[in-house]
Structure 1
Amino acid sequence: MRPRVAAFMASQNGLVLRRQARQAGMTSDAIDRLVAGGEWVAVRRGVYATAVLWESLDVHVGRPLLRARAASRNMLVPHVMSHDSAALAHGLPILAAAPELVHITRFGVVGSRTKHGVKHHRAPHRPEQLVEIDGIWTLDRARTAVDIAREHGLRHGLAACDSALRLGVSRADLWEAVAPMTCWPYVTVAREAVELADHRADNVAESLTRLLVLELGVGPVEPQFGLRDGSRVAWCDVRVGRHVVEFDGRLKYRPATQGGVATVDPELIRWREKRRQDWICGFQLGMSRITWADVQPHRWEATKRRVLREYDATRARYGTSIADLAPYVISAA
């Protein structure tokens, strides 16, 4: 590889623009041969990375982020990275939207358009909301989280705001980001996401689980409800009354060799989960278990009906007060 091309890639997250490669002395035919031969990958039209880099990136974060950076570096109009693309740059866990788009915000009045897989937002922002990440100007985490709420709705917005709080953004920062959006589209969704946000959600799945239980309207909802009895400790994702709701992801049952996180026999993990559930329910608590499929939009209402039915059964059997559990309850910070 030509030294100047390697230098461009080294300073641009592994990317080189076609016009930069030409400036470095490569011909169009040489570039096309590298792509056709599988040595380079066209991340976007006119923007390339090595196949080695591309194959090393995961499909959920690494590749979408590289595509966003490729689009940004290839643009001539003044802009900043925003919304989902900014979240990826910040390492902010979010609920992926479909279709996957690159999001940038341009200077001007409120409005937007989508072209060639890039959504151009025209919304004002303050200079102090800008941060530079790997050479690309990007809206900060607070503004990014509330923008996602306005753009995609409460499911996405709550997950983004929870993540922002978990990574050190304050609720005051989120409210400050929302404040200028007085008459902006869907600002009420952003306000609701900020109001409901909670740093105790460990991940996007727990954010969705809490939202589902909140929509039942059956009482105060507590994330990360902890119990201990001197011999063991357990944390439950969500509690309402004497009922807990646990999210089960398949990754914890799948061996690491198959893309999961299990480091022991999955059968042993299932046995431990059964014993854990027995121990929790031994405190006279009911339990619902939900999976990723259960919180998808087309299953959302059916899951709510099931969880409400299970909650009602727990309430009928044990009531709702947990005053008797005071010696065993531990609180998340």
Structure 2
Amino acid sequence: MNPRVLTAVAAGSGVIRREQLLDLGLSPADIRAQVAAGELIRLRRGVFTTGEHWTALDEYVGRPLLLARAAVTTMRRGWVLSHDSSAHAWELPILRPNDPLVHVTRPGFTNAWTEYRVRHHLARFSPSQVGWVQGLPALDLPRTAVDIARERGVVDGVVACDAAMQRGVTRLDLEAAYAIMTCWPGVRWAREAVALADPGAETVHESLTRLLVLEAGIGEPDTQFPVRTTEGIKWCDIRVGNHIVEAHGMIKLRPVADGGVATRPADEVARDQWKRERLLRDQGLGTSNVYWEDHWGARRAVAIERLRRDAAETAALRGAVLDERLARDAERIRREYGDRRRARPSPVM
């Protein structure tokens, strides 16, 4: 491929328009031939990327964001990224919808329509709610999270709001974002999602697990609960009474090079997890593990029954109310460290 084309694609953050290709010396026949050969990928009418760049992007964030960039490249009239597309630009973790679309919004009376895989929204927003991220105009984090809740429901909304709060957005910020949405479609979902949001849910999996605990009706979830053990402080995903619920995913076993977080062999990571559960039991806590597949389909009902059974067994053995010693110690740890992200490594006791 012409090196000048590669330079232009890089300068355009992965996209290039047909007019640019023609200006760089390609003929219409050249463009058609390179598209047929897979050297160029047509993102939408008149906008392309290279096959190499497209292949290097992941299907969950990278490619949807590039499609959004291509869409905005051809638009006028003050469109900005919103909803899922804004979340991708801000690197805000969200659930992937069944039918991913590019989302853009511009000021106007509340309305929406889909055309050529782009969901166009008309809605009011203030200039202060627009920021530039990765070279694109996008609605800010509070508005993005609230819009996702309105568009896709409470579960998706809680995931987005949790993630936004993890990034420093407050509940007041989220409430302010939906304050103008009187009688807007889906605003009830937004209110519910904001009310349920918790910055202690550090991942999408933890957000979903917290909702699973609520649905099980075993108590109010307390996120990032610290427990002092004989081998230092252990921060637990969720606590209800004297029972700990941990969200486990393959990401903990997968090496960093393969997109995971593991820096040691999988068997060592699994062994440490079993050891961690023993340390928590030694402190008088029961444990349950929740896996990604537990959130969907028939597995969800099975997981809820398992949580209820495990929590009932713990309550029978340890009582339904958190042990005073654990409560006092957790309060001291939180007062000293704030939360797990700011906690310093704890010495072995």
What TM-score results when the alignment is normalised by the length of structure 1? 0.92
Structure 2 portions without partners, runs of 5+: 340-349
Q: CA deviation at 1:300?
A: 2.9
What amino acid is the match of 1:294? D
Superposed CA deviations along residues 126-148 of structure 1, whole A, max 9, x for unmatched, are: 12111122342211111000000
Change (3 A) 1:302 1:110: farther
Q: Distance in 1 between matches of 2:158 and 2:45?
A: 34
Q: CA deviation at 1:84?
A: 0.4
1:26-41 pair list within 5 angstroms: 26-41=26-41
- More displaced 10-residue stretch of structure 1: 51-60 or 278-287: 51-60
- More displaced 10-residue stretch of structure 1: 251-260 or 121-130: 251-260
Q: Distance in 2 between matches of 1:303 and 1:271?
A: 23
Q: CA deviation at 1:297?
A: 5.1
Change (3 A) 1:259 1:176: closer
Superposed CA deviations along residues 45-102 of structure 1, whole A, max 9, x for unmatched, are: 4321122322222222111111111122123454111000000001111111111111
Superposed CA deviations along residues 113-165 of structure 1, whole A, max 9, x for unmatched, are: 12221111121211211112234221111100000011111111111111111
1:41-60 pair list within 5 angstroms: 41-60=41-60
Change (3 A) 1:300 1:185: farther
CA contact (8 A) 2:230 2:279 kept: no
1:268-287 pair list within 5 angstroms: 268-287=268-287
Q: Secondary structure at the match of 1:58?
A: coil
Q: Distance in 2 between matches of 1:195 and 1:259?
A: 32
Aligned partner of 1:200 in structure 2 is 200
Q: Distance in 1 between matches of 2:273 and 2:287?
A: 13
Q: CA deviation at 1:3?
A: 7.4
What amino acid is the match of 2:54? W
Q: CA deviation at 1:23?
A: 4.0
Structure 1 portions without partners, runs of 5+: none
Aligned partner of 2:326 in structure 1 is 325
Aligned partner of 1:180 in structure 2 is 180
Q: CA deviation at 1:7?
A: 5.6
Q: CA deviation at 1:8?
A: 4.1
Q: Distance in 2 between matches of 1:261 and 1:324?
A: 33
Aligned partner of 2:122 in structure 1 is 122
Across the aligned residues of Structure 1 and Structure 2, the Cα RMSD in angstroms comes to 2.1
Change (3 A) 1:4 1:258: closer
Change (3 A) 1:100 1:113: same
What amino acid is the match of 1:145? A
Count of residue pairs the alignment pairs up: 333
Identity across aligned pairs (percent)?
A: 44
What TM-score results when the alignment is normalised by the length of structure 2? 0.88
Q: Secondary structure at the match of 2:246?
A: strand
